[in-house]
């Protein structure tokens, strides 16, 4: 509902019986409620994702129907599909509506901030404005739409009923440039005669505390919360009624004494004006809302998924502290809030504090929250009260609850899990419980941090849309969950945050900070759109941001004529949080990323039909590669500094001459062996290390890192009870306890970027080279480590792709299922590939070298849609292979 007219694109997925089913052509029809607007005609193409609308301009606020049909591999047409969409209000759409705020001044409440860093700051917090407007419906309604946005976060009601089920709307953008509005179908909520529209608007990202600045007054965008809304009622006689926000709305305050994303929310239920959102309420004490001048900014239909309460988690354990308060352990670190039921005859003060960990004495650990207070409090009315905040969120596994009388039990306490509505699209399971827990931790960290913007962490005073974290995790994110719309929205934020120099910012929205151009952070401006294109086949995202990417490339090129990125490196974070400190030269890292950008830009230019540009970027990539080799690659295959990250970047970004690749890869293995088979990368190397190992003959080493249990390793935190990915490899250790509270989140997805390897390599669900949107696959499982089986699936834009393998009794069985319109070449590793049998007894089409292990061979089959199974002698064991590869053995063992 309400898509911007210039962003209308169509995708469909097919179903079909049998095998080898394909689309050979399609036809799209778009009509308004009266007549046909666009007929694509029969288009001979297998493309089924993000097909752009090409008819006459679509009108604003209109409902359209769209249909598609396809012809199959035999030229037979299928039935027409049915779908509909509605366009947004358009530029002038909010005509007549004013931004409204509270009509009279309100006293603030002084609240201390969190004191995680020892210095408590007193913040003055203000009550959330309440707005109401009475209007009449005189005629028969055809349909009604409510459009709304805010500087703050809002909740709307009509006749006392909640409008929609989104929370924290309108989300976070650079409100000075772009405000997103949401559209609601409220046809059923209206009644004949008098109706009441209600709204509560809290500080949110626009007026509250955001980022690491509690010591400064926050309010990056506005000093107090404002609402902009428009109700449009269409009557069956064709006439229309508009109810815009203006001075006819009345304003007051209520139970929400204050609400802030970082500090928490306070509700004093006695202050709630009873019936304020319904007809018949006496609003004579309310003041007319004040209309505010707000400078021009674009109002855009929200392209992202709403944030919603996704599930409720019951406490696994309740422990009473000597102070009388309760510690609720939800068994899972998450983002959201606690919902409570309080009983008892008397009014009381109830307080809920939130933390990710406990101190050794069982009390709540809050030091790592820094100044984020994460505390909700209530004054109840007596009787039964449901206590729940609506305009804040917290990162927590534990809650300390005080003030409940003894009558509340576990059934009265739950944690509401809150995040953007990104549906699960992937699943992974294998024979290792620890690896399965790691997989779950990755998904939970994604869930906790995909709250309108991809943030670094959901708990401390930070929660920013860091570009470095987002780019390293984007591919994992897109396997786990449907993030197409989520990133589409955030990439507009990234574009809004770009400096006029062309430098992409360190985080987006950037709230007035001019931090920009940091290697591996700013590069997200190229890497994330490209990742979305690869994962979803969406060329629209590339087209929309192409100019921004070009300015970025021009910026780096202009300042670095030597083709080593040594100048204009911004905050230059290096291989952030590597246990080896700053040992990877920052300029090496930067240059590798620049080369990567150039390579991707060539591919992007090609994809959107700009072959000339593609040539330019290929040339640039060649120049950077040459400069990199000259500066950092030694004749013996060593990469300057010899860190794992240096090797990984050089290999992943294609910067090692072909004849040195094998030896460079073996040096990476040696660098790992020197750490006694532990990982030592930070955020930047972590996402590529296992893919690089598996692509260069060392899947056995990749598994060794994956299954490593001592520090530093992924399973180290898992064995210490982690339920999300830690920011640091050593967030907590038995020897030292907690890392410095200055920067120690237990819910940071960056190190979880290993997730893509589980899908792409362990399960082998990988795009074929050059493919996008999973039309063509390369299914190559990488069995190894302790795993006796692995299974999982990925719901691609073309349908569900599933993969499972088992090693048993010397046999390896690989089973896959593909949706229609997807083809794959299947590569089955085996000690004797000639013996591998495919569907219906098929023999391999060819035998090749298997890139996951030296000396290993693979049987190759070509398949189409449907279920296929392959079986043959299992692959050779790794030690046998090691012995076969003398060169490898020598390099690994020699000092
Ligand atoms: C954040 C990171 C971010 C980094 C920049 C940290 O404070 O938590 O995740 O990428 O700053 O280096």
Give the model confidence (pLDDT) of 346-382 as tens digits. 899 999 999 999 999 999 999 999 999 999 999 999 8
User: Do 202 and 75 meet the contact criterion of CB atoms below 8 Å apart?
Assistant: no
* Confidence tier at 214 by pLDDT (50, 70, 90): low
CA gyration radius, the chain: 29
The 10s digit of each residue's pLDDT in 241-269 is 999 999 999 999 999 999 999 999 999 99
Q: Please give the distance of CA 519 from its chain centroid, rounded to a whole number.
A: 21
The 10s digit of each residue's pLDDT in 622-664 is 999 999 999 999 999 999 999 999 999 999 999 999 999 999 9
pLDDT at residue number 884: 47
Residues 6 or more apart in contact with residue 722 via CB below 8 angstroms: 333, 441, 746
Does the structure show a pLDDT above 80 at 819? Answer: yes
**Nearest atom in ligand 1 to 457's CA:** 8
> Of 599, 603, 485, 497, nearest to 548 (Cα)?
497
Residue matched to tokens 């089409």 = 845
Q: Parallel, antiparallel, or unpaired for β 823-830 and 776-779?
A: parallel
Does the structure show a pLDDT above 90 at 405? Answer: no
* Confidence tier at 123 by pLDDT (50, 70, 90): confident
pLDDT at residue number 879: 54
For ligand 1, atom 8: residue with the closest CA: 456
Annotate 528-542 with b (16+ C-beta within 10 A) or e (fewer).
bbbbbbbbbbbbbbb
d(CA 321, CA 146): 48
pLDDT at residue number 315: 97
Q: Which two tokens stand for residue 219?
A: 């309010």
* Confidence tier at 108 by pLDDT (50, 70, 90): confident
**Cα 464 to middle of ligand 1, angstroms:** 8
> Of 246, 165, 276, 251, nearest to 201 (Cα)?
251
Q: Please give the distance of CA 374 from its chain centroid, rounded to a whole number.
A: 22
Q: What is the pTM of this model?
A: 0.97
Q: Which residues line ligand 1 (CB under 6 A)?
A: 456-457, 462, 466, 468-469, 573, 576, 743, 748
- pLDDT, mean of residues 521-538: 98
Q: Check if 886 is active-site.
A: no
Residues 6 or more apart in contact with residue 357 via CB below 8 angstroms: 365, 368, 397, 398, 732, 738, 746
SS3 794: strand
User: Do 843 and 862 meet the contact criterion of CB atoms below 8 Å apart?
Assistant: no
Q: Parallel, antiparallel, or unpaired for β 129-137 and 122-125?
A: unpaired
User: Do 231 and 247 meet the contact criterion of CB atoms below 8 Å apart?
Assistant: no
For ligand 1, atom 11: residue with the closest CA: 466
**Cα 439 to middle of ligand 1, angstroms:** 22
**Cα 710 to middle of ligand 1, angstroms:** 25
- pLDDT, mean of residues 414-435: 98
- pLDDT, mean of residues 100-125: 79
Q: Please give the distance of CA 423 from its chain centroid, rounded to a whole number.
A: 11
Q: What is the dihedral of CA 362, 366, 368, 369, to 10 degrees?
A: 150
Q: Beta partners for 737?
A: 733
Could you say which of 388, 727, 756, 882 is catalytic? 727
Q: Beta partners for 794?
A: 426, 801
> Of 281, 287, 135, nearest to 197 (Cα)?
135
Does the structure show a pLDDT above 70 at 217? Answer: no
**Cα 469 to middle of ligand 1, angstroms:** 8
pLDDT at residue number 112: 81
Peptide bond between residue 509 and the one before it cis (omega within 30 degrees of 0): yes
User: Do 701 and 852 meet the contact criterion of CB atoms below 8 Å apart?
Assistant: no
Segment among 143-147, 170-174, 759-763, 882-886 with least mean pLDDT:
882-886
Which residue stretches of 503-585 are H helix?
524-536, 539-559
pLDDT at residue number 882: 52
Q: What is the dihedral of CA 544, 549, 554, 555, to 10 degrees?
A: 120
Q: Which of 520, 576, 747 to mutate to test the pocket of ligand 1 (most atoms within 8 A of CB)?
A: 576
Q: Beta partners for 871?
A: 813, 837
Q: Check if 835 is active-site.
A: no
Does the structure show a pLDDT above 90 at 395? Answer: yes
User: Do 826 and 812 meet the contact criterion of CB atoms below 8 Å apart?
Assistant: no
Residue matched to tokens 């994809």 = 607
SS3 756: helix
d(CA 579, CA 730): 9
Phi first, then psi: give them for residue 478, nearest 5 degrees.
-80, -20
Does the structure show a pLDDT above 70 at 887? Answer: no
Share of the chain above pLDDT 70, in %: 97
Total residue count of the chain as it appears in this document? 895
Peptide bond between residue 170 and the one before it cis (omega within 30 degrees of 0): yes
Per-residue CA distances from 375 to 254, 335, 755 (Å)? 19, 13, 33
Residue matched to tokens 């670094």 = 456
- pLDDT, mean of residues 305-319: 97
Segment among 331-345, 737-751, 874-888 with least mean pLDDT:
874-888
Per-residue CA distances from 260 to 207, 214, 256, 304 (Å)? 9, 12, 11, 23
Q: Please give the distance of CA 129 from its chain centroid, rounded to a whole number.
A: 31
In the DSSP assignment, the letter for residue 532 is H
**Nearest atom in ligand 1 to 576's CA:** 12
User: Which one is predicted more confidently, 343 or 653?
Assistant: 653
d(CA 451, CA 704): 34
The mean of the pLDDT values for the chain is 94
Burial of 807 (0-12, 13-18, 19+ CB in 10 A): middle
* Confidence tier at 889 by pLDDT (50, 70, 90): very low
pLDDT at residue number 109: 75
pLDDT at residue number 219: 62
Does the structure show a pLDDT above 60 at 881? Answer: no
pLDDT at residue number 795: 98
- pLDDT, mean of residues 153-167: 98
* Confidence tier at 583 by pLDDT (50, 70, 90): very high
The 10s digit of each residue's pLDDT in 823-847 is 999 999 999 999 999 999 999 999 9
User: Do 738 and 573 meet the contact criterion of CB atoms below 8 Å apart?
Assistant: no
Residues 6 or more apart in contact with residue 840 via CB below 8 angstroms: none
pLDDT at residue number 56: 95
d(CA 771, CA 219): 45
The 10s digit of each residue's pLDDT in 683-730 is 999 999 999 999 999 999 999 999 999 999 999 999 999 999 999 999
Q: Which of 455, 460, 469, 684 to mutate to test the pocket of ligand 1 (most atoms within 8 A of CB)?
A: 469
Cα distance between the two ends of the chain: 64
Q: Which stretch of DSSP H or E encloses residue 687?
A: none
- Count CA atoms closer than 13 A to 271's CA, side-chain side: 16
The sign of the dihedral angle between the CA atoms of 608, 610, 611, 616 is: negative
Q: Which of 453, 454, 456, 572 to mutate to test the pocket of ligand 1 (most atoms within 8 A of CB)?
A: 456
Per-residue CA distances from 737 to 682, 721, 722, 744 (Å)? 21, 14, 14, 12
d(CA 182, CA 177): 17
* Confidence tier at 895 by pLDDT (50, 70, 90): very low
Determine the longest span between alpha carbons in the chain, in angstroms.
89
User: Do 138 and 398 meet the contact criterion of CB atoms below 8 Å apart?
Assistant: no
**Cα 466 to middle of ligand 1, angstroms:** 7
> Of 690, 794, 706, nearest to 427 (Cα)?
794
**Cα 462 to middle of ligand 1, angstroms:** 9
d(CA 740, CA 326): 27
Segment among 88-92, 169-173, 473-477, 809-813 with least mean pLDDT:
88-92
């Amino acid at each position: 509902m309400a898509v911007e007219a210039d962003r209308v694109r169509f995708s469909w997925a097919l179903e079909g019986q049998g095998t080898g089913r394909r689309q050979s052509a399609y036809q799209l029809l778009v009509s308004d409620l009266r007549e046909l607007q666009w007929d694509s005609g029969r288009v001979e193409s297998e493309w089924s994702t993000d097909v752009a609308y090409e008819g006459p301009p679509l009108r604003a606020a209109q409902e359209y129907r769209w249909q598609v049909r396809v012809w199959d591999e035999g030229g037979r047409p299928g039935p027409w599909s049915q779908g509909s969409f509605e366009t947004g209000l358009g530029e002038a759409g909010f005509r007549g509506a004013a931004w409204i705020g509270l009509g009279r001044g309100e006293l603030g409440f002084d609240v201390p901030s969190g004191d995680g860093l020892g210095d408590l700051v007193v913040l003055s917090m203000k009550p959330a404005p309440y707005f109401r407007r009475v209007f009449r419906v005189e005629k028969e309604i055809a349909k009604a739409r409510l459009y709304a946005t805010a500087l703050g976060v809002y909740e709307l009601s009509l006749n006392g009923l909640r409008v929609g089920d989104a929370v924290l709307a309108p989300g976070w953008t650079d409100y000075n440039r772009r405000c997103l509005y949401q559209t609601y179908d409220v046809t059923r909520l209206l009644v004949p005669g008098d109706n009441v529209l209600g709204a509560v608007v809290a500080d949110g990202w626009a007026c509250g505390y955001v980022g690491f600045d509690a010591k400064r007054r926050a309010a990056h965008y506005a000093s107090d919360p404002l609402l902009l809304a428009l109700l449009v009622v269409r009557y069956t006689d064709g006439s229309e009624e508009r109810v815009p926000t203006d001075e006819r709305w009345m304003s007051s305050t209520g139970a929400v004494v204050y609400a802030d994303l970082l500090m928490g929310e306070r509700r004093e239920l006695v202050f709630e004006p009873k019936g304020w959102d319904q007809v018949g309420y006496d609003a004579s004490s309310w003041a007319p809302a004040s209309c505010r001048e707000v400078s021009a900014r674009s109002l855009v239909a929200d392209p992202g998924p709403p944030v919603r309460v996704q599930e409720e988690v019951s406490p696994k354990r309740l422990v009473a502290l000597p102070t009388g308060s309760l510690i609720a352990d939800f068994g899972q670190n998450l983002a959201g809030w606690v919902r409570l039921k309080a009983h008892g005859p008397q009014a009381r003060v109830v307080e809920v504090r939130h933390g990710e960990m406990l101190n050794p004495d069982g009390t709540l650990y809050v030091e790592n929250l820094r100044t984020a207070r994460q505390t909700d409090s209530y004054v109840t009315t007596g009787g039964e009260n449901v206590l729940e905040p609506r305009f804040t969120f917290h990162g927590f596994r534990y809650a300390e609850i005080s003030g409940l009388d003894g009558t509340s039990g576990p059934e009265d306490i739950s944690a509401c899990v809150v995040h953007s509505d990104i549906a699960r699209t992937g699943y992974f399971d294998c024979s290792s419980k620890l690896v399965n827990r790691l997989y779950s931790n990755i998904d939970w960290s994604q869930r906790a941090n995909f709250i309108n913007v991809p943030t670094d962490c959901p708990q401390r005073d930070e929660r920013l849309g860091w570009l470095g974290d987002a780019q390293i995790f984007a591919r994992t994110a897109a396997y786990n969950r449907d993030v197409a719309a989520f990133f589409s929205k955030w990439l507009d934020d990234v574009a809004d945050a770009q400096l006029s120099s062309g430098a992409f910012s360190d985080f987006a929205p950037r709230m007035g900070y001019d931090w920009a151009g940091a290697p591996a952070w700013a590069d997200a401006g190229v890497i994330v759109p490209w990742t979305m294109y690869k994962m979803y086949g969406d060329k629209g995202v590339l087209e929309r941001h192409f100019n921004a990417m070009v300015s970025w490339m021009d910026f780096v090129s202009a300042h670095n004529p030597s083709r080593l990125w040594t100048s204009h490196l911004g905050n230059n974070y290096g291989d952030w949080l590597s246990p080896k400190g700053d040992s990877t030269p920052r300029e090496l890292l930067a240059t590798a990323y620049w080369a990567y950008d150039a390579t991707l830009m060539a591919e992007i230019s090609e994809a959107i039909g700009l072959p000339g540009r593609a040539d330019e970027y290929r040339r640039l990539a060649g120049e950077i590669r040459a400069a990199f080799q000259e500066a950092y690659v030694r004749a013996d295959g060593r990469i300057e500094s010899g860190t794992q990250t240096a090797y990984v970047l050089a290999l992943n970004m294609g910067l090692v001459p072909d004849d040195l690749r094998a030896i460079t890869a073996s040096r990476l293995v040696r660098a790992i062996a020197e750490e006694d088979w532990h990982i030592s990368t930070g955020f930047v190397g972590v996402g590529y290390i296992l893919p690089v190992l598996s692509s260069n003959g060392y899947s056995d080493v990749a598994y060794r890192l994956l299954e490593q249990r001592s520090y530093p390793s992924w399973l180290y935190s898992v064995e210490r009870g982690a339920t999300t990915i830690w920011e640091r490899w050593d967030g907590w250790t038995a020897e030292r306890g907690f890392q410095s509270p200055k920067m120690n989140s237990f819910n940071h997805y960056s190190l979880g970027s290993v997730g893509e390897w589980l899908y792409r390599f362990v399960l082998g669900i990988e795009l074929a080279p050059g493919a996008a949107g999973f039309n063509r696959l390369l299914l190559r499982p990488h069995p190894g480590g302790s795993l006796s089986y692995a299974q999982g699936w990925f719901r691609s834009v073309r349908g569900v792709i599933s993969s499972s393998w088992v090693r048993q009794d010397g046999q390896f069985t690989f089973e896959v299922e593909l949706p229609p319109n997807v083809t794959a070449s299947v590569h089955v590793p085996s000690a004797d590939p000639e013996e591998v049998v495919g569907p219906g007894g098929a023999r391999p089409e060819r035998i090749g070298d298997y890139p996951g292990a030296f000396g290993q061979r693979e049987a190759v089959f070509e398949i189409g849609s449907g279920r296929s199974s392959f079986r043959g002698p299992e692959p050779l064991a790794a030690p046998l292979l090691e012995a076969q590869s003398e060169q490898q053995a020598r390099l690994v063992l020699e000092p």
